[in-house]
Chains A and B, each alone.
Chain A
Amino acid sequence: MKFLDEYRDPTAVRRYVRAIAEITTRDWTIMEICGGQTHSIVKFGLDSLLPDKITLLHGPGCPVCVTPAELIDKAIEIASRPEVIFCSFGDMMRVPGTGKDLLSVKAAGGDIRMVYSPLDAVRLARENPHRQVVFFAIGFETTAPANAMAVMQAKQSGLKNFTVLVSHVLVPPAIEAILSSPDNRVQGFLAAGHVCAVMGYTEYEPIAEQFRVPIVVTGFEPLDIIQGIYLCIKQLEEKRFEVENAYSRVVNREGNRTAQRVMGDLFRVVNRKWRGIGEIPASGLGLKEEYKEFDAELRFGVAGKKVEEATECISGLILRGMKKPPDCPAYGTKCTPEHPLGATMVSSEGTCAAYYSYRRLAPLGKSESQRQKNG
């Protein structure tokens, strides 16, 4: 398939793997930010191709995983109301709040629709003037522009029955939080290509400089990822700490100015609670004052709702790269995709789900690649 097969070429990947092995002289720990990258790494078994000296940690870049239980409970409360049509992206539907998930609300009679774009929700609001249409606006900087655009359209067409439940989060504050933690082990980052397509990568430059970490803007296909790892290791070995763009077919330094403008018009930076991590200052987006009539939390009176997160789940440590799924006593026993204790086990981009789906029993890939190395 054009523009895909080229980036899944095993020969090219192996060439990079050899190059990585040649330049690696000591132990390095790097983190891929995005859940999509984690999924690719585990699905294709890329980590097991790497030298033992390199440890990959999986970052907090799964929007489903970091959406706090509190917000899911709010979504469930709103979606249970008879006048509401609640619209969500598909993979948000199965994430448990403190009790149930949206799919259960749907089964119990809630009108919950899976949509592919926030603009579908705006259309539903137009078509159903006597119902309240609510869109669950979650995600990183990638989904924020389209969600902002939806609110803007709703305002322009004078829709009074459309609101959004916003839980947007931002990548750079999360990286800073990880690096500022006293237990931090991460020495370099693969930044999320799609986020940088929107935002560019200027905001990572001060982070790389201040914390002395290489940050490589990386795509999602096997070759993208392995190239990102190569560039990151090369910087570490050469003691360089720069932002480098390994995804230039999609990303430029400034990003998408139009998308940034739309986001800036609608959203303001707010403190945001991350599931399993807690509140990170200035780490999210909320609606600006002049758009508060579109805020579902205000319209449905759920803004003050607070809940305690389950304590058994260690997803907070996993999302910060301090633990891997098999380190969790509940992993694969009490916590499975059917009975998730935390969102990292639910979302297709969640680290625990990726491990459980692809390598539940043993590190199969490692043994095989070891055999190949030895053979």
Chain B
Amino acid sequence: MDKKIEPSCPIPITDYPHILLAHGGGGKLMHQLLEKIILPSFDNPALNSRHDGAVLKMGQVRIAFTTDSYVVQPLFFPGGDIGSLAINGTVNDLAMCGAGPLYLSAGFILEEGFPMETLWRVVQSMKKAAQDAGVSLVTGDTKVVDRGKGDQIFINTAGIGLIKHDLNISPASVVPGDAIILSGDIGRHGMAIMSARENIGFESAIESDCAPLHEMVLKLLEEKIKIHCLRDLTRGGLAGGLVEIAETCNCRLEIDESRIKIREEVRSACELLGLDPFYVANEGRFIAFVPEADATRSIDILRQFDNGRESTVIGGVHESDAGLVVLKTIMGVGRIVDMMSGEQLPRIC
């Protein structure tokens, strides 16, 4: 194997001369991409904290700033569409910084020939999602590319939110003794997309959990819960989120399989395709790390919300030499939870 390494581009170390789909999958390859190309190029404390958004101080005010691009296919799926996703995704990234979302931008990349009527539906869905989340879309951009050079529509949104507390909500703040709270069942968004995309006609449609999360977070803060870390469980799913945090805080996160809720239709679909729901994406679920003493009160608060009714403590944080996630299986045996290398691939048999 030719191991010659060009000094200008460190990525060939990993033997991938081209971008693979897995580089966007939220797993190890994506992390390598960030660590080898993006982070060293733009090296600064806000970026290096590798949170869902950057927390910045402007004068006496602390704000959160984030951006995300949406390329989902199909554009419309049970429980949502690319428009609602583009608003809620960015709102949630701000919420995970403990910020109240305020202003959003939207950039549209449209493919020549894209039906005007479909664009209208997407934009109306964004309008509704923005209203529901209480954010204003204040600036934007539109570009059109030649037919065949895009996939109907890509949307980028960026957002700014205000931070009104003194907590440092980040993976580095997680400490032994914290409780890990999960805000509901997992795996619905990814399986909704997969069943729509692959034309797999499951008997009952799986609906995406796509929803804004900031109200729940702001309520926790209002009630003076000392949140140490928040993470929405998008690409990479519950497992990806936990492993990332464990590696940053250098603790052992222990979770209990029997406490993690997965709807029956999601479990069935995952069983059928050979996928692990722990790695399947969500768009309306988050984990919160809070001191053990605040755990019960946090659960009570979260359960007041429709989208938080199934909130529960799924485990806790322990001292360790290295960051790792340990799952107590339903058989009562402990095993490691690892990050996916690339994308989950359906099995053969």
Contacts and interface: CB of A to CB of B under 8 A. Distances in A.
Interface of A: 1, 4, 8, 10, 13-14, 36, 42-46, 48-49, 63-64, 89-94, 99, 103-104, 106-108, 114, 116, 138-140, 142-143, 194, 222, 336-339, 347-349, 356-361, 364-365, 368-369, 372
Contacts, number: 126
A116 B336 contact: no
Interface residues of B, number: 40
A359 B274 CA distance: 20
Contacts of A64: 348
Interface in B301-331: 322, 324, 326, 329-331
Interface stretch (B58-66, B185-193, B338-346): B338-346
A359 B334 CA distance: 9
Contact of A194 (B32, B324, B349): B349
B331 A337 contact: no
Given A337-B341, A357-B338, A139 B349 contact: yes
A278 to B, nearest CB: 22
A1 B348 contact: no
Contacts of A338: 14, 28-29, 32, 341
B149 interface: no
Q: Which has the most chain A C-beta neighbours within 10 Å: B273, B324, B345?
A: B345
A106 B343 CA distance: 14
A10 B258 CA distance: 11
B335 A365 contact: yes
Given A91-B346, A93-B345, A368 B18 contact: no
B221 interface: no
A89 B18 contact: no
Top 4 A-B pairs, shortest CB-CB distance: A45-B333, A90-B345, A107-B18, A90-B346
Contacts of A357: 336, 338
Give the secondary structure class of A's interface: helix
A1 B333 contact: no
A193 to B, nearest CB: 11
Contacts of B21: 103, 106-107
Nearest to B340: A337
Given A42-B335, A368-B333, 10 more contacts: A1-B271, A4-B267, A13-B331, A45-B333, A46-B331, A63-B348, A336-B341, A339-B15, A359-B336, A361-B324
Q: Which has the most chain B C-beta neighbours within 10 Å: A1, A49, A108, A138?
A: A1
Contacts of A116: 198, 200, 273, 346
B1 to A, nearest CB: 8
A107 B1 CA distance: 19
Contacts of A103: 20-22, 342
A372 B334 CA distance: 12
A348 to B, nearest CB: 6
B326 A364 contact: yes
Contacts of B349: 36, 63, 139-140, 142-143, 194
B16 interface: yes
B340 to A, nearest CB: 8
A8 B346 contact: no
B334 A104 contact: no
Contacts of A49: 331, 333
A324 to B, nearest CB: 16
Contacts of B336: 357-361, 364
B131 interface: no
